[in-house]
Structure 1
């Protein structure tokens, strides 16, 4: 019998955290050993997500939960100011971090990569766990080789904390790996309203839309002589990210070091 992967979930009472708890409880290869949410109270994690009692009480403190649970993996969908410290704590306890929170600096990623390697464990920071979104990024990078004039428009709800989104930044990074910097638009253009042309990245622009009623969409638009190409991905439900989270939990057991970007662990 294959040994179960022991999973801890922090941010368990949040919208993404609840989906992760459901995933772990319903996956025959995974075992929920800890759930952390500072304000949820001492509630059963299964009851919290509407699946009935599972025997795991939600803890307010990550460090004690990791110390007592002997977890293999920590899945974190919290907020940027907490995720970095949560990742460091996980690594200190030899727990493999899988982080769906954005906002890490390149220096922080490199530091955490070194810590993972020194402990002999794997880790993953992924701006997006949606298989469709990853394919959108890959297709955009390929298209930019032939249509280098490009802009990104990303749409999220008005409560999102960061702009541009981690997915947009990752898409821009992948495009820049295969496309030389090209300053687009009329060199004489002048913004009459500051910021109207969007954020500048390697010669192209990223636009962030924040509105109530929006979940998560991204459009990458390419322009050429007499034509445009639009690559768009739409997410409608948080459950759409869970197949990717499942893959990540299982893959992180097989390598050493911190990987940035889910595309690097896709088969």
Structure 2
């Protein structure tokens, strides 16, 4: 990375999440918002890659894979918040850029996934209910899919898309004479910003790449 502040580009900057991330980056003393990348803003990724250290991708599933490939090949690190894209493009991808895919940037959601993984070792069955705003394109959410991957056994996922929601998930466990529910709610997109900034600061120091999950920069030994 360059000396001085980390130069950050936000891909998908015209969207709600991109707007919030851009503001968070601008407010951080050790980061510099170098580019707001979005067709709606007339800025293409390839036009600004040479000026960046890290790209945060919060675009669309049909755009994210190409952006990640371009960043890695250009030696630019990339933090991916977009879900629903094919991670297979990362297989055998050559380049100096490191990749951190974050199914959820909220630290509480990362803890929820970790607690659910532990509970699945001890209780008979579980199901996941994930609820998001009605503009979310993919289902199940990346958070729900990652939670299920971390848990033991087959875990059905139920998706809800309604106006008025932001991002919510509960994991319901059942066993003899008891239930356990682990739930996380993002009331606003502000909940994601500490995790986004942490990922931007730490992605360049990853010992291996690509990795999936904010836990790789949040917990030691994740």
In structure 1, the residue matched to 2:189 is: 238
In structure 2, the residue matched to 1:193 is: none
Question: For the Cα contact (< 8 Å) 2:132–2:168, is it kept in 1?
Answer: yes
Question: For the Cα contact (< 8 Å) 2:65–2:86, is it kept in 1?
Answer: no
TM-score where L is the length of structure 1: 0.77
- How well do the aligned residues superpose, as a CA RMSD in angstroms? 1.4
Question: 2:196, 2:136 → 1: CA distance?
Answer: 21
Question: CA 1:106 to 1:38, structure 2 compared with 1: closer, same or farther past 3 Å?
Answer: closer
In structure 1, the residue matched to 2:217 is: 265
Question: 2:209, 2:98 → 1: CA distance?
Answer: 5
TM-score where L is the length of structure 2: 0.92
Question: 1:244, 1:63 → 2: CA distance?
Answer: 26
In structure 1, the residue matched to 2:171 is: 220
Question: 1:6, 1:158 → 2: CA distance?
Answer: 33
Question: 1:235, 1:21 → 2: CA distance?
Answer: 19
In structure 2, the residue matched to 1:66 is: 49
Question: 2:144, 2:95 → 1: CA distance?
Answer: 31
In structure 2, the residue matched to 1:252 is: 203
Q: Does 1:167 align with 2:150?
A: no
Task: Give the gaps of 5 or more residues in structure 2.
Answer: none
Q: CA deviation at 1:217?
A: 0.7
- 1:39 counterpart SS class: helix
Q: How many residues align?
A: 216
Q: CA deviation at 1:93?
A: 1.6
Q: CA deviation at 1:210?
A: 1.3
Task: Give the gaps of 5 or more residues in structure 1.
Answer: 41-58, 182-201
Question: 1:82, 1:120 → 2: CA distance?
Answer: 21
Question: 2:216, 2:65 → 1: CA distance?
Answer: 21
Question: 2:190, 2:178 → 1: CA distance?
Answer: 35
- 1:257 counterpart SS class: coil
In structure 1, the residue matched to 2:72 is: 91
